[in-house]
Chain A
Amino acid sequence: MQMHRKSRTALLIGLALAGGLSSTMASAADTGGSQFSNKLLLTGGVSQIEGSAGGGLTPWAVIGGYGTQDEIGGNAFYSRVNLPDYHLDDVGALVGFYNRVEVSFAQQRFNTEQVGGALGLGNGFTFTQNVIGVKVRLFGDVVLDQDSWMPQVSIGIQHKKNDQAAVLRFIGAKSDQGNDYYISATKLFLSQSLLVNATLRYTKANQIGILGFGGDKNNTYKPEFAGSVAYLLSRNWAIGAEYRQKPNNLGIAREDNWYDAFVAWAPTKHVSLTLAYVDLGNIVIKRQQRGMYASVQVGF
């Protein structure tokens, strides 16, 4: 409990700092400095569950933050997923360099609530996973290339480390850390107000790493697909849906593909809110984990 409160406090301080920083950037831009935040609204995506810029569930090819090729951008986020039998707290930050390279960090705290007790781990038993991500834009411009079919394409890596090595070994996972490799293609069909993303991820992660990496059923990298569509309602509002395939490596706990339907609101370039209905399927001994995802992001 004490730990939990501390991380909350750290989070609030982090968000306040990021907020302060971005308002400083904003006033710098307002006074004609214009060294920051010149990307168009919402074209940096939001923070996905592993901390990279994208939708909620999957990275997109966009570089996070509002920096153009001459600028640096950055943001911090807090996301919460409430499920019938679990909840997830997710905090992180990213920096986008010159619309070319994105470096991100996220910490996921997956709380097993009563399920932890039922499994002999104790009520509220929590898996904590740190994710460090690097993404590089290879080519393309998600917004400007409106006269060709060419999407913006990026490749990335997410290095994940879980803090519950002993429990993970016990349930059959082969490792408490792993790397996901992905390639994302994102295209804005501006005349249709429609954004489409496709991601291919090579991964061994069980439940994105919360249940470790590799397992008794499979311990090899598998390509998994993720797709997103977003419809732009206005400059500030977008709605959409996502799908993410996942491997099924553990004999003791079936793993399902994930779905969500979201609405994102960005009143300014310095803050965005995302709400989603998520269907995360079976998680260990609990089926039909459907619930709400909420995310707030501040940045520049």
Chain B
Amino acid sequence: MFKYSLHAAVIVTAVLFAQSALAQEAAPMLQQSAAMAASAPRDPALKPVFAEFGGKQGLVSLMNDFMDNLVADPRTRPYFENADREHIKAELVDQFCVILDGPCTYTGKSMATAHRNLGINRAGFNALVEDLQKAMSKHDIPFRAQNKLLAKLAPMHSAVITKK
């Protein structure tokens, strides 16, 4: 009997430890996402990735295909078909450009504000990621470079996904 309770204790302890760590993590993360609301932070380490995306011109051209994918995809179309798509593309170019340490500034709304009333769920968020991946592959952006950008965009899920 003892050996079973020992194992149970080990697992319970591990779980409790991890959850308390998670709770500690959660509070600063909220503040952090508010602080970086304007856009994800500039990361000088991603300068070479900016080149792999073809610089600002590359981003402009990428965003055309990305938006075409979003409108063609029935999962994302409702969020974009009646929106000012040219404006969204321009904001996305600036935002990605800043993340990749390009010579841009992002002056648009915070992610939380921009997505507040859209009711986007996880499925919709993932659909957008897939549409972006498709566009990046079409533009022959190396897979590793794609992932470096996606790694910076992924944490925005907490501001974008409002329908839990």
Contact = CB atoms under 8 A, between A and B. Distances in A.
Interface in B84-135: 121-123, 126-127, 129-130, 133
Interface in B109-164: 121-123, 126-127, 129-130, 133, 137, 143-144, 147-148, 150-152, 154-155, 157, 164
Interface string A178-196: 0001010000001111000
The B interface, classified by DSSP as helix, strand, loop or mixed, is: helix
A2 interface: no
Contact of B151 (A191, A202, A235): A191
B123 A143 contact: no
A34 B75 contact: yes
Interface string A135-162: 0001111011111101001010000000
Given A190-B151, A191-B148, A138 B123 contact: no
Interface residues of B, number: 36
B126 A146 contact: no
Contact of A40 (B10, B75, B126, B164): B126
Contacts, number: 93
Interface stretch (B21-29, B52-60, B62-70): B21-29
Given A139-B22, A144-B157, A202 B123 contact: no
B75 A235 contact: no
Nearest to B122: A68
Interface string A209-230: 0000000000011010000000
A146 B18 contact: no
A147 B155 contact: yes
Interface residues of A, number: 39
B11 A146 contact: no
A300 to B, nearest CB: 13
Contacts of B29: 147-148
A40 B154 CA distance: 12
A39 B133 CA distance: 14
B151 A233 contact: no
A38 B7 contact: no
B1 interface: no
Nearest to B129: A40
B148 A139 contact: no
Nearest to A189: B151
B154 A146 contact: yes
B3 A38 contact: no
A44 to B, nearest CB: 12
A40 B151 CA distance: 14
Given A34-B127, A38-B122, A69-B164, 12 more contacts: A30-B74, A38-B75, A40-B130, A139-B19, A141-B157, A144-B155, A147-B154, A220-B3, A221-B7, A223-B10, A232-B147, A235-B133
Interface of A: 30-32, 34, 38-41, 68-71, 138-141, 143-148, 150, 153, 155, 181, 183, 190-193, 202, 220-221, 223, 232-235
List of 10 A-B pairs having minimum Cβ-Cβ separation, nearest first: A32-B74, A38-B123, A147-B155, A191-B151, A190-B151, A146-B154, A68-B122, A34-B75, A146-B151, A144-B157
